[in-house]
Amino acid sequence: MPIYEFWCGSCERKISIYQQGFSPVSHSCPNCGNDNLQRIFSPFAIGGKTDKQVYEEIRSDHQFERALKQNDPKAIAQWVERTSRGGEIPEECKETVGRLAKGEWPVKGSKPSENE
């Protein structure tokens, strides 16, 4: 299950929250109790690679890049399966990949805009 990072504007702190599945965020800041948290982008590492190395590897996959530009969830699921190199998709990702494979976005109303 993913850990998301949020910014609390009230106490001006970055906090990390463990989020199960697709439940909507209904957390409050553990420091001040503010329930108006803003989700922020978190850096990540995969298999010893930095987020920049992973980003560059993804950007070099032109088939995936075309799929992203077309806002095609099925193509994203295919990319995940292709890049897993025959390995098992992590349990915490299976629900998301399953929704993408059906042509659904993982979170209702989360389809990327045409400008992204």
Token duo for residue 25:
């965020």
Mean predicted confidence (pLDDT) in 34-58: 73
Strand partners, 105: none
DSSP-derived secondary structure letter, 16: E
Residue 71 CA to residue 79 CA, distance in Å, equals 13
Q: Is the pLDDT of residue 114 over 50?
A: no
For the ranges 63-67, 72-76, 80-84, the one whose mean pLDDT is highest:
72-76
H/E segment holding residue 96? helix 91-101
CB 3 within 8 A of CB 20: no
**DSSP string computed for 52-94:** HHHHHHHHT-HHHHHHHHTT-HHHHHHHHHHHTTTSPPPHHHH
Question: pTM surpassing 0.85?
Answer: no
H/E segment holding residue 99? helix 91-101
Q: Is the pLDDT of residue 46 over 70?
A: no
Comparing 104 with 40, the larger pLDDT belongs to 104
Q: Is the pLDDT of residue 98 over 60?
A: yes
